[in-house]
Amino acid sequence: MNRRDFIKIGSIGFASLTTGIGVGSILLNDNKEYKNFSVYAFLPDDKKIILDCLNVFQHKIKNSEFIYYLNNKRLTEIINKRFFVEKENNFIVSKSFVDIKLINVNNNTKGDIFVSNNSNLVLDPKKDFDQKLLAFRERINSKESKYLLSIELKERNLLSNIILPKNNMIEITNEKGLFEKISLTKNYSSVDIPGSIGSTKLKINNGKV
């Protein structure tokens, strides 16, 4: 797939599938895994530029091992690896991680970069890119690309093991036993669950608890 087709389709998820990325794509999200942030960059055969691209998004990848490899320019220790995002809070119901992949692009494609988040499938460079990202994009626009670098920040719901696989339901229990069964196909802004030491509020949105 070349850059023109990529833009014409207008879907990073489809582009990732047809280029062989495929893992946890936007079009194939299930109830256990969600993309929070994605980057797809057409880059030249230049180790420094690839590292510079990773540096642009370093603040999104809060993992000490990744930062160590990046600071020491150990690209082979980064590519095709998964890095778990380190969190400080003890009560964690989800786990975030970053998948970084680099694949060959077998066509004459000009360098470019595409970014998506929870709100936008493809961010508008003129409106949504900061100066650092804009400068990097201008730097690679004039170069022929050989690689497609993908950076995918994902979140896995640790409560997914209580999802009933056939009907996507979760069971909520308290000290009295089963309190409620709730479908994950619907959104709930607030579910009050009474307990012995007070109530717990539960929110369900797009299959996430």
Closest CA to 159 of 94, 110, 83: 94
Whose structure tokens read 């964690």? 92
Q: Residue 127 phi/psi, 5° resolution?
A: -100, -35
Q: Which two tokens stand for residue 192?
A: 């009050």
pLDDT at 2: 47
In this prediction the pTM is: 0.60
Mean residue pLDDT across the chain:
71
More confidently predicted of 16 and 118? 118
Q: What is the pLDDT of residues 41-78, one digit of tens each?
A: 999 999 999 999 999 999 888 899 999 999 999 999 99
Residue 119 above 80 pLDDT? no
Q: How far is CA 94 from CA 2, 16, 62, 89, in A?
A: 35, 24, 15, 11
- In which band, very low, low, confident or very high, does the pLDDT at 206 lie, cut at 50, 70 and 90? low
Distance CA 205, CA 103 (A): 34
Distance CA 136, CA 188 (A): 41
